[in-house]
Structure 1
Amino acid sequence: MREVPEQRIAKTAIKVWKIQAIILSFFPFIATIALFILANMYDFSYWYAIGLLVFTVIEVILSVFIIPYVRWRRWRYQVYDQEVYIQHGIIIVKRTLVPMIRVQHVDTKQGPILKRFKLASLAISTAATTHEIPALREQEADLLRDQISILARVEQEDV
């Protein structure tokens, strides 16, 4: 088996993922509050609302305080002349090799949260799928985009 890729995404990705998890956690909390209100109005058991509250609290603890750290520790990548090696996953670690000869185009993208932390994601598109390396520093994402683009062009010219 190959060595683990050396390059890591930016450590501030942890903050970005925490903010995204907090934003997404508002929906279960709203549903929990609505269930408590409905239980009060229509006189049915509060146990459903309490169960949903317990589930929501566990979900928030996992998605805000635990998963971002584990996710950051597992995310690695390496760009070689012939391929891009990507490793990610929390429970199941996925290792992907993207041959340069298959790369059709490379994009960077940046939403409002990533922009706030001066980060960008790199998307590597092949005919079959798109592979993404999230939360790279802006300059690093731009350099990687250009490097992969040049390497992919060289590979296709050699064929």
Structure 2
Amino acid sequence: MELQNQISARTLKVWRIIGFLECLITWIITIAVLVLTIIFDWTPWIIGGMIVLSVIQPYLGIYLLPLIKWRRFRYEVRETEIEIQRGIFVIKRTLIPMIRVQHVETNQGPFLRKYDLASVEVSTAATVHTIPALDLQEADELRQYISKMASVEEEDV
């Protein structure tokens, strides 16, 4: 059964900006390694490897991986449980019973804030589960709903 809810399409912009910044760091490291290779007369395969990495990483990190990650991420919040599906090559599905939820919060970093997005973090005793980059209003409503359902479940126990 396919989960119904998907994160915001604006998430792609945020993840692509982050991918571009990661590529910039790689390019800086590549330039430094190339300079060191020339200075210390290291083997030429280092230059080739760094150039190949500098060409492949932008395609993967800016275009392909964010698109696959966005398409595969799904979630569904029901009265008794939260189900999250994520992954790029290996798809993982997590089921979180509402009675295990300890608290719920929304987070916004600078990139998410620019695009009016927020992540919802659901904390249990064991770990924190994240639903990344929802529209800000949707994230607030989801936080309120999960909080209400989790407290109702705790009262019934």
Provide the TM-score with structure 1 as the length reference: 0.95
Aligned to 2:89: 91
On the 8 A contact 1:84/1:100 being kept in 2, the answer is: yes
Aligned to 2:117: 119
User: Unaligned stretches of 5+ in structure 2?
Assistant: none
Cα distance between partner residues in 2 of 1:55 and 1:137: 34
Query: Among 89, 105, 108, which residue is 1:107 paired with?
Result: 105
Shift of 1:37: 1.0
3-state SS in 2 of match to 1:10? coil
| One-letter code aligned to 1:32 | T
Q: Which runs of 4+ in 1 moved over 6 A?
A: none
Counting matched residue pairs gives 157
| One-letter code aligned to 1:7 | N
Cα distance between partner residues in 2 of 1:39 and 1:102: 54
Query: Among 121, 127, 140, which residue is 1:142 paired with?
Result: 140
Shift of 1:45: 3.0
On the 8 A contact 1:36/1:46 being kept in 2, the answer is: no
- Bigger Cα displacement from structure 2, 44-53 vs 107-116: 44-53
- Give 1:40-51 correspondences, 5 Å limit: 40-51=38-49
On the 8 A contact 1:121/1:134 being kept in 2, the answer is: yes
User: Unaligned stretches of 5+ in structure 1?
Assistant: none
Shift of 1:50: 2.1
| One-letter code aligned to 1:37 | V
Identity between Structure 1 and Structure 2 (%): 46
Root-mean-square deviation (Å): 1.0
Shift of 1:31: 1.3
3-state SS in 2 of match to 1:107? strand
On the 8 A contact 1:85/1:97 being kept in 2, the answer is: yes
On the 8 A contact 1:6/1:76 being kept in 2, the answer is: yes
Shift of 1:27: 1.8
| One-letter code aligned to 1:122 | V
Provide the TM-score with structure 2 as the length reference: 0.96
